[in-house]
Each structure stands twice: as C-alpha cells, then as structure tokens.
Amino acid sequence: MHAPAGWVERDGALEREFRFTDFTEALAFVNRVGALAESENHHPDISVHWNQVTLRWWTHVRDSVTERDFELAARTNDLAAEP
C-alpha cells in the first residue's frame, strides 16, 4: 500500500507536516482531525508549533502502520483543504 500524497513512512508511522497561515488555522485543523479521530476511535500523535502541525498515524496495538492508518491519512488530507 502506498502512502497518500504528502505522507511518508517514518519510524513505524505515517507522518506529514501541514503548514497554515497562523495559529488559528492550525488549531482549527487540529480540531477537525480530533473530531475524525474520536469518530473512528483511532488517534494520531499531534504536534503543534504556531502555524505548523505534524501528524503521525500508526496503530498502537500493532506497533505498525495498518490499512486503517492509510485511510485516515487520506481523509486527513481532505480536512486540510477545508476552511
């Protein structure tokens, strides 16, 4: 399986950095990702630095990247495009 656009497999997880114009946009994106994560009961590691958000999707119980992680990474790309 291939990583969605913009994502790389690094240290056992799918990772991507997103950049926004400011903290408000970055935080709004994190909140959208949080809602997705809660609805799917599958939670990424999230790091926020002002206008930069780094996400890492991986399946903790398997300690690896699964098909579900690829799916949620692709869905996260869609969330980044939302206002």
- Give the per-residue pLDDT at 58: 96
* pLDDT band with cut points at 50, 70 and 90 for residue 63: confident
Percent of the chain with pLDDT over 90: 88
Q: What is the pLDDT of residues 17-30, one digit of tens each?
A: 999 999 999 999 99
- Give the per-residue pLDDT at 2: 87
Which residue type, as a one-letter code, is found at position 71?
A: E
Task: Examine residue 2 and state whether it is found in any structural domain, yes or no.
Answer: no
Task: Examine residue 64 and state whether it is found in any structural domain, yes or no.
Answer: yes
Q: Which helix (H) or strand (E) holds 37?
A: helix 23-40
Which residue type, as a one-letter code, is found at position 79?
A: L
Query: For the domain that residue 13 is a member of, what is the CATH number?
Result: 3.30.1360.20
Task: Examine residue 73 and state whether it is found in any structural domain, yes or no.
Answer: yes
> Domain span at residue 74?
8-81
**Per the structure, how many domains does the chain have?**
1
Give the mean pLDDT of the chain: 95
- Does the pTM surpass 0.75? The reply is yes
Task: Examine residue 12 and state whether it is found in any structural domain, yes or no.
Answer: yes
Tokens describing residue 71: 């799916």
Task: Examine residue 49 and state whether it is found in any structural domain, yes or no.
Answer: yes
